Structure 1
Amino acid sequence: MKLVLLCCLGAFVAFLDSTIVNVAFPNIAKTFSDADLPTLSWVLNGYNVVIAALLMPAGRVADRLGCRRSFAVGLATFTVASAVCGIANSAEVLIGARLVQAVGAAILVPTSLALLMPMFPMARRLVAITVWGAAGALAAGIGPGLGGLLAEHWTWRAVFLVNIPIGIVAVWATRHLTEQRERGGATPDVLGAVLLGAALGLLALGLVKGPDWEWASPATVGCLAAGALLAVAVALRSARHPAPVVSLDLLRSRSAVGGNIGSMLFSVTFYAVILNNILFLTTHWHWSLIHAGLATTPPPIATALVAKPASRLAERFGDRAVVIAGCLVYIGGTLLLFHGGGQSPDFATHWLPGAAVMGAGAGLVWPVLGAVALAGVEPSRLATASAANAAFRQLGAVLGTALTVSILTAAGRDALGGARDTWYLAIGFALAVALLTAVTVPRRAAAASASASASV
């Protein structure tokens, strides 16, 4: 059990810093008041861009050099970078340290799951995926409240410094893990990773700066066009490279398309809403960071609580039905939040119902889409496949954060109008996930995979 917890810790710390920093973002903006919102958004989006670009190469390297060794390196990198973030004296240093921190997180995500899977019998692979996913959801749940507490009572720097004791203990404990590696194999596509990072960076830059530069300006159009062209180049290179930055062979089946692309689209709405809600509560309702952090805790907590029952529901009613139902529940929660958000500040009646329902919907969607994406993947490629799914989720996080910053920048002082536009965005992408799932995901993709694995 201790080793299971250690592996889950890898996902926990990586995903914790995706939400805990969002809560501290308003105080970071006050400290570095000379930097504008689009620039400071790279504290959030730079983390997501680097993770998305490096997850697949990190999974490949881990398969070849050893998952245990890579896991320890990832923890050490993440911990040291967290310390630098905590003492940063400028926005530039903070953003740079966040990029290094993301390198460590990109190593942790695929290696943690790859080390966890062999601890479960083949027939219970779906359970292992669910446990790992629940750890990430729990991190997202603890993040807002913890971030608000640290930033309000101490300083936003504590949001990063809290990773140091966790990282030290975890690195020390990795010696108890069993090494796993895949012999041979091609060298990871480093150039492809650079191109993917550049593509995502340019797309995010165009989206966040569009309102300032004007959407039809040469700078905005140039960034978006160059990002799109580089994305096409990454796809073409990945189709030919023996160890591509994005394994297109993992998209050959309809279920893999539904699981991975669906994860990306749902991640857009998930991360857009996280940032939007924090800024709405602190700017429109004028709540403190502690109150805002606690108010945004129910959705991810509900996600973690629903994650395990979601896998059982998928086994009984089918993956497709559960994901579509989860999207509809999520949309219902967003509509409740849309209505309550326009009222005077009131947690119990105007915020909690919608926030909790949204979290329950996400709990039905996330674990099942992840299981569908990994359906049929042989054990030797689990690190690579899990990295691919996590990369698609991070692609969505980049787009979701960038779109939210763009919407809120365009809204200016109209915090309520910007929040409502972002909630509309969330509804649209949740509908897209439901439609994609209906077309691509078989009724029992993940369950069938588990049964097949058990018979090997």
Structure 2
Amino acid sequence: MGSKERTTAEQRWVLSLASIGAVMVALDALVVAAALGTVKEELGASIEQLEWAVNAYTLSFAMLLLIAAALGERWGRRRIFAAGLGVFSAASAGCALAPSIQWLIAARAAQGVGAAAVMPLAMSLLGAAFPPERRGWATGVFSGLSGLGVLGGPVVGGAVTEGLAWQWIFWINVPVGAVAIWLVLLRIGESSGTARRLDPAGAALVSLAVLGLVWGVVRGEPAGWGSAEVLGAFLAGGLLLAAFWVWENHAPQPMVPPAFFRSRAFSAGNAAGFFLTAALFGAVFFMAQYLQVAFGAGPLEAGLRLLPWTATLFVVAPVAGRLVDRVGERPLIVTGLGLKAVGMWWIGQAAGGSVRYAELVVPLVVAGCGVSMALPATQSATVGALPREAVGIASGVYGMTRQLGGAVGVAVLGAVFAAAGGYGDFTTGFGRALTVCALLSLLGALAGLAVGRGAAAPSGAPAARPGRVGVRR
């Protein structure tokens, strides 16, 4: 019996609508990158203001993920998911209408608020709708589409900017979001987690901690990694994160029960997801630029040349999701990230000299297959490690980890690129950046070795409680 035949109508609606929301959010993480040159001319923006047009989204997104996940568990996953789509769509209209760069930055921050509700609640809806034995397949489809959104962001942004205007990269979200909200409320049933009181102190501590850490990462290159601003941001973020951990160990109903992290699969899955996203975002940021610089391709042509990388997500991710249900997550995480490391190292070495595009096709396919294998497996390892009642918080932690990984990856590869000569010697800097991307992928593979052999936690596992939780170790 095929995968589709074993799913109910509501499960198919959940998978479709959760994937649409995830693609919208993933696209907008990097879709503005291709339009920055046009935005600079039309709005008279400085380089630092253009950076904030990208980073404002990442900051608010990462800060509010856990809070949105907790609200979904308490007030209803469908309700918060639909609300997130509404905020995201309205903020997209605000971006399109921006008369100044300051307005655009503020609207991008508001987009991040909506995205923080959409992404973890999309994963929560999937976890609630699909039983453990079917969750891997559903996660594979979802991860493939959301991963395609990340990879396709600069391509879509460039094509729309060339064909229409930069404002349309945001206008597109408005009708899509409106239809998605209507279908979510019409076709998806409500679900929620274990009734818990909100933890405002924990929410404030983790949000400010993430703000400090991400601020330090995104300001590292422009302000200097040894500057008082960056070091102070890292110190404040670290101290606040430690305070959050202490508070969660003593709070009567913590936002994230520390017992969750005693699950080896949960902790290792999050670590692997961090390095996977760091390598993925960093590679996406530079690959489209490299194809334009090295081969003189326009944004649309560069996107077509990336198809050997991106198209694998359609084919491999759903298959990898089915394999998760059969063999567990560890083999797919380790093998997938190993392949990603090989592909990125291969491209980095080839880029150092004169290279033809045909020589990049095989390593692009290898790297794409690796990402497509590892994406559903890392998500399944984290969400499946906890009982079904805790899937919302698990999704929030995983989403926050991925956002931090994306910010770190772009910053680290950017620093390596700049140290090697930057845009003055693009191919050398690109080659070294891709070599570091391969190292990040290897670190993710090593983290994946700690993921256990088992599949998802049984749906009848006891609800998570502070100090004791039914988790897969």
TM-score, normalization by structure 2 = 0.86
1:386 has 2:408 as partner: no
- Quote the Cα distance in structure 1 between the aligned partners of 2:307 and 2:251: 42
Q: Which of 92, 99, 102 pairs up with 1:82?
A: 92
1:17–1:143: 8 Å Cα contact kept in structure 2? yes
Where do 1:365-404 residues align within 5 Å? 365-404=374-413
Match of 1:414, SS state, is helix
- Quote the Cα distance in structure 2 between the aligned partners of 1:157 and 1:143: 15
* Aligned match of 2:427: 416
2:278–2:410: 8 Å Cα contact kept in structure 1? yes
Q: Which of 18, 23, 26 pairs up with 2:34?
A: 23
RMSD over equivalenced CA pairs, Å: 2.7
Q: CA deviation at 1:134?
A: 2.6
1:309 has 2:304 as partner: no
* Aligned match of 1:115: 125
Q: Which of 359, 363, 370 pairs up with 1:354?
A: 363
Q: CA deviation at 1:367?
A: 0.8
Where do 1:27-176 residues align within 5 Å? 27-32=38-43, 34-36=45-47, 38-176=48-186
- Quote the Cα distance in structure 2 between the aligned partners of 1:228 and 1:15: 27
- Quote the Cα distance in structure 1 between the aligned partners of 2:154 and 2:353: 22
1:347-376 deviation digits (Å, cap 9, x = unpaired): 3x1433322221111111111111111224
- Residues 122 and 351 of structure 1: CA distance in aligned 2, closer, same or farther (over 3 Å): closer
2:35–2:158: 8 Å Cα contact kept in structure 1? yes
* Aligned match of 2:335: 325
- Quote the Cα distance in structure 1 between the aligned partners of 2:269 and 2:415: 28
Match of 2:166, SS state, is coil
- Quote the Cα distance in structure 1 between the aligned partners of 2:342 and 2:145: 25
Where do 1:174-193 residues align within 5 Å? 174-176=184-186, 177-182=188-193, 184-189=195-200, 191-193=201-203
Match of 2:248, SS state, is helix
% identical equivalent positions: 29
2:317–2:372: 8 Å Cα contact kept in structure 1? yes
* Aligned match of 2:439: 428
- Residues 43 and 334 of structure 1: CA distance in aligned 2, closer, same or farther (over 3 Å): same
1:152–1:288: 8 Å Cα contact kept in structure 2? no
2:194–2:390: 8 Å Cα contact kept in structure 1? no
Which has the higher mean CA deviation after the structures are superposed, 176-185 or 193-202?
193-202
Q: CA deviation at 1:77?
A: 0.3
Where do 1:417-456 residues align within 5 Å? 417-438=428-449, 440-442=450-452, 444-445=453-454, 447=455, 449=456, 452-453=458-459
- Quote the Cα distance in structure 2 between the aligned partners of 1:224 and 1:258: 23
- Residues 217 and 9 of structure 1: CA distance in aligned 2, closer, same or farther (over 3 Å): closer
1:241-285 deviation digits (Å, cap 9, x = unpaired): 455555533211111111111111221111111112233334454
TM-score, normalization by structure 1 = 0.88
Which has the higher mean CA deviation after the structures are superposed, 134-143 or 263-272?
134-143
- Residues 34 and 8 of structure 1: CA distance in aligned 2, closer, same or farther (over 3 Å): closer
- Quote the Cα distance in structure 1 between the aligned partners of 2:442 and 2:274: 13
- Quote the Cα distance in structure 2 between the aligned partners of 1:249 and 1:300: 37
- Quote the Cα distance in structure 2 between the aligned partners of 1:454 and 1:194: 32
1:10–1:108: 8 Å Cα contact kept in structure 2? yes
* Aligned match of 1:336: 346
